[in-house]
Amino acid sequence: MEEVFEAPGVIVVKVGSSTLVDERGRVDRAFMASLCDQAARLVGCGLHPIIVSSGAVAAGFERLGLPGRPQDVPGLQACAAAGQAALTEAYAAELSRHGIPCGQLLLTRRELTDRESYLNARNTIGRLLSLGAIPVINENDTISVSEFAFGDNDMLGAIVSSIVNADLYVILSDVDGLYSSNPQADPGARLIPRVDSVGRELEGVAGSAGSPVGTGGMVTKLRAGRAMLAAGIPMVICRGRARDVLVRLLDGEEMGTRFEARHGCAHESARKLWIGLAEVARGSLYIDEGAYRAVTQDGASVLPVGVTRCVGSFSAGDVVNLRLGDDTLVGRGVVRYGADDMRRVMGLKLDVIARFIPQCKGQPAIHRDELLVL
C-alpha cells in the first residue's frame, strides 16, 4: 500500500478545454499531436510527464452529433461519457507514434477523501510512470455530484501534483498568465511573472469568468497556485498554444506566471495537504483578525476565543474551512468540536470552556498539526 514512485522529474501538465478544443468546440488534433510530441521529448530527457486533461464534455459534442453544450446534468454527463472515450483514443493514438503507452485515470473527490483510495491512486500513477507510460487523468464527470466534484481541473491537477510530489505543475491556459488587472478591459494590465505568496490583495486581481467550453478561470488557477505554494511545488500558468511551451519551460525559459515559495519557507506535510486539498469541507469557522495573525504568522492553533461565527452541520473530526469575516479562505483543518458545541464555545477562553465541557478541557477549535493554511 505504501509504494511510492521516487524518481525525480515528475511534471504534471494540465490542459484546459479552451486550449484543447478549436473554435468549433471540437478537439484540436493538431494541438493534441503537438502536446504529445512535447511530452515524448520530455520522456526522452528522462522526465516523467502526467497529463491532466479537460475537454471530455466538449469532445462529446462531436461524437454525439450535438450542436452545442447541453444545459442539463444528464446531457452533460452523457457528453462526458462519449467524449472521454474520444479523448482517451486520441491521446493513445498520438502517444503510440512515439512508442509510449498511456493509462487513463478518472477520479472524483469522493475517492480521494478516502485515505485508502487516495493511496491506491498514488500507487497506480506511480506504477504507470515506472512502466514508462504517461497517465492521462480527468475528473469522472459521468458520475460526479456537486458535493464531491473538484469543480475544475486546475485543482485536480494540484491534488495530483501533491499526490506524486511533483517537481513542477504546469497549467496550459488560453492566457499568458496572471495579470495585474483584466487585460481585456485594461490596456495597462501587466503580466505578473512571479508569485511567492497569495494574499487578499492578489485575490482581487483574478476574474471569475472562464471560457464557454471550460469550468475554470483565473480564480481557480490562483487557488491551485496557493495550494502549490503550501506544498512547495513550483507552478506555472502560461499560454498552452505557445510554440514548444513545455520544452522551453523545462529548458529554463521564463514564461507566464511562476508560483514558487521563497527559499527557506517551510512546506506542509502530506497529511495536511490531504486534509486541505482532497477532503470535502463540511462547514466553516470564521475567525477574527487576532486569530488570523496568530495562525498565519505564528503557526498557532485556532482557539475558540478567536472564532466569531460557525456555519454548517459538522461533527468533531470533520474538515471545515477557516475564513475571515469577508469570506476570505484562510485554510482548512480538522475541527475538534461538533457544530452545536462549537456554537456554544466560540468566543470563549479555554479555562471558561473547561467549566462547561470538561471533556474538552484545553481543546483548540483546530489544532495546528491538522490545519493547512492557504
316 Cβ neighbours under 8 A, 6+ residues apart: 335, 336, 337, 338, 341
Q: Tell me which residue of 334, 326, 176, 341 sits closest to 256, measured CA to CA.
A: 176
Residue 238 CA to residue 257 CA, distance in Å, equals 7
Q: What share of the chain is helix, strand, coil (3-state, %, to 5)?
A: 40, 20, 40
Residues of the chain predicted below pLDDT 70: 1-7, 110, 141-152, 200-201, 203-216, 264-266, 278
> pLDDT value at position 6?
65
Q: Tell me which residue of 244, 285, 289, 322 sits closest to 34, measured CA to CA.
A: 244
285 φ/ψ angles, rounded to the nearest 5 degrees? -110, 130
Q: Tell me which residue of 238, 143, 125 sits closest to 191, measured CA to CA.
A: 238
> pLDDT value at position 143?
64
> pLDDT value at position 116?
82
DSSP code of 33?
Answer: H
> pLDDT value at position 215?
40
> pLDDT value at position 5?
65
- List, in order of start, the domains of the chain with CATH numbers: 10-259 (3.40.1160.10), 281-373 (2.30.130.10)
